[in-house]
Structure 1
Amino acid sequence: RIFLIFSASLLTYVISALMAKPDWGEIGTAIIRPGIELNTKSLTVIIALIGTTIAPWMQFYMQSSVIEKGLEMKNYKFTVIDIIIGCIVTVVVAFFIMVACGSTLYPNGIEISEAKDAAQSLEPLAGRLASHVFAFGLFVASVFSATILPLATAFYVCEAFGFEAGIDKSWDEAREFYVLYTGIVVLSAIIILIPNAPLIDISIWSQVLNGILLPVVLVSMIFLINDKKIMGNYTNKLYQNIIGWGAVGALVILSVVLLVLPLAGR
Structure 2
Amino acid sequence: MTDLTTTDPTTTATVPAPRATAVLDDAHVGDIRGALGTIRLDDTAPRRGLSAKLKTLLAIVGPGLIVMVGDNDAGAFGTYTQAGQDYGTSLLWTLVLLIPVLYVNQEMVLRLGAVTGVGHARLILERFGRFWGAFSVIDLFLLNALTLVTEFIGITLAVGYLGLPKVPSVLLAAVIVVAAASTGSFRRFERTAILLCAGSLLLVPVYFIVHPATGRMAHDLVVPTMPQHARLSDVMLLIIAIVGTTVAPWQLFFQQSYVIDKRITPRFMRYEKADLWLGIGIVIIGAAAMMGFCAAAFAGHGEFGDFTDAGDVAAGLERYAGKTAGVLFAIALLDASIIGASAVSLSTAYAIGDVMGLKHSLHRGVKGAKGFYAVFAGLVLTAAVIVVIPGSPLGLLTEGVQTLAGVLLPSASVFLLLLCNDKAVLGPWVNGRAMNVFTSLVVAVLVTLSIILTAAVLFPDITSGAILDIMGVCGVAGILALGYAETRRRRKGWALGGPVDRTGKENWRMPPLHELPRPLISTGRKVGLTALRVYLLAAMALVVVRVAQLALGH
Q: TM-score, normalized by length of structure 1? A: 0.90
Would you say 1:239 and 2:434 are equivalent positions? yes
Give the aligned residue type for 2:237: T
Q: Among residues 40, 46, 56, which one is paired with 2:239 in the alignment?
A: 46
Aligned-pair distance for 1:18? 2.0
- Aligned 1:136-147 pairs, distance under 5 A: 136-147=331-342
Contact 1:55 1:214 in 2 (8 A): yes
Contact 2:403 2:453 in 1 (8 A): no
Contact 1:10 1:137 in 2 (8 A): yes
Contact 2:407 2:454 in 1 (8 A): no
Aligned-pair distance for 1:116? 2.4
Task: Report the equivalent of 2:405.
Answer: 210
Q: TM-score, normalized by length of structure 2? A: 0.45
Q: Among residues 263, 272, 290, which one is paired with 1:79 in the alignment?
A: 272
Task: Give 1 or 2 for the bigger CA radius of gyration.
Answer: 2
Give the aligned residue type for 1:248: V
How many residue pairs align between the two structures? 266
Would you say 1:22 and 2:217 are equivalent positions? no
Would you say 1:150 and 2:350 are equivalent positions? no
Contact 1:60 1:156 in 2 (8 A): yes
Equivalent-residue separation in structure 2 for 1:203 and 1:90 (angstroms): 21
Would you say 1:257 and 2:452 are equivalent positions? yes
Equivalent-residue separation in structure 1 for 2:383 and 2:307 (angstroms): 21
Equivalent-residue separation in structure 2 for 1:9 and 1:265 (angstroms): 41
Flag structure 2 segments of 5+ consecutive residues without an equivalent: 1-190, 465-554
- Aligned 1:116-195 pairs, distance under 5 A: 116-195=311-390
Structure 1 SS opposite 2:208: helix
Aligned-pair distance for 1:80? 1.3
Flag as ranges the 4+ runs of structure 1 deviating above 6 A.
none
Q: Among residues 29, 34, 37, which one is paired with 2:225 in the alignment?
A: 34
Aligned-pair distance for 1:122? 0.8
Contact 1:51 1:212 in 2 (8 A): no
Would you say 1:229 and 2:424 are equivalent positions? yes
Aligned-pair distance for 1:142? 1.4
Aligned-pair distance for 1:90? 0.7
Task: Report the equivalent of 2:173.
Answer: none
Give the aligned residue type for 1:69: K
Point out which structure has higher relative CO (alpha carbons under 8 A, 6+ apart).
Answer: 1
1:211–1:40: structure 2 CA closer, same or farther, 3 Å change rule? same
Contact 2:244 2:405 in 1 (8 A): yes
Would you say 1:13 and 2:203 are equivalent positions? yes
Q: Among residues 297, 305, 325, which one is paired with 1:104 in the alignment?
A: 297
- Where is the helix percentage greater, Structure 1 or Structure 2? 1
Task: Report the equivalent of 2:471.
Answer: none
Structure 2 SS opposite 1:166: coil
Is 77-86 or 27-36 further displaced after alignment? 27-36
Give the aligned residue type for 2:201: L
Percent identity over paired residues: 29
Aligned-pair distance for 1:208? 3.7
Equivalent-residue separation in structure 1 for 2:260 and 2:307 (angstroms): 40
Equivalent-residue separation in structure 1 for 2:224 and 2:453 (angstroms): 22
Equivalent-residue separation in structure 2 for 1:187 and 1:106 (angstroms): 39
Is 87-96 or 189-198 further displaced after alignment? 189-198
CA-based RMSD: 2.2
Task: Report the equivalent of 1:57.
Answer: 250
Structure 1 SS opposite 2:225: coil
Is 164-173 or 79-88 further displaced after alignment? 164-173
1:145–1:35: structure 2 CA closer, same or farther, 3 Å change rule? same
